[in-house]
Structure 1
Amino acid sequence: MTTNLELAGKVARNVELDAINLRYAKVESGCEPGDLPEELSVDVQYRTSINHRHRKDEPSSPELAVMVDFRFHVHGAGEEVPAEILSLEASYLLTYLLNPEATLEEDCFKHFAEVNGPYNAWPYWRELVQSVTGRVGLPGFVVPVFRPASVEVEGSTKKPPPTA
């Protein structure tokens, strides 16, 4: 049986990270710094997507565009209807240059986006969360280090779609 980390590693050995760009950020704060509940509940989520494309300046050079969408929500804990104290959402676009000679299964790219996308964007996300939580009057929140989980997956056999 193969793991998601092994499949992601096949792509990782054939790419170079070119850019990390913040594409979207939204903050909504309903907190009054002196009026915070004693207990807070924190929820952190993310999702990824991937797109195969060619560089505009070099049409023969393939690249991967991985979008990572993050969500951070803080609610009052122990309340019947928890008050939302903070909502922070952000999307990062990561661009990887792909070795044009690499021939990899499509499943490898999916697992690469799910593992490497968040892993590479995570430091930027951590900094944004810590900065924003302090600026809205909450104690600065430090997001833990990202540790991708190893999960067994079925073997992959599909080839990547042709790129234009």
Structure 2
Amino acid sequence: MDVAHKLALLERMINRIFNQNLLRVESINSDGQPVFYSGQWRQIGKNDRLAIVGDRVIDMVLCTSWFDVRNAEGRLLTKGQWSELQGDLVTDDRLARRGFSLGLDDVVIKNPGHHGRISNGMMANAVEAIIGAVYVDSGYSLDATVENAE
């Protein structure tokens, strides 16, 4: 499947049309090799940088929810409970399961020599990178990013 088709599929999967075309390519690029896109070979960065942004966006959304939540006794949750919540909810396995359930394995750009299923780590990285790309593409809007994540 060519890159343009992968991008169209990605946008349908996440219900978002990107404004910055190369950003969306970077979000699904798990390899540092040049990518043939829009009639030419382009050196597109690997999705690691966007994955870092996406990871922080996930933490910010989760932390904001944690900050306002109270336990059964009406007390605010503790810092230790934050760490536990984060450790339980934001794992590569959970992110990978979500990515595979959406069919994102069909759109991730792999090294041409890679055959077969992508790893959970690659999928988790792609999910974080896509979230990061939506955040950057939306003008750094958490609200727009959360809306697309739902």
TM-score category (smaller protein): under 0.3
* Larger strand percent: 1
Question: Normalising by structure 1, what TM-score?
Answer: 0.23
Question: Normalising by structure 2, what TM-score?
Answer: 0.25
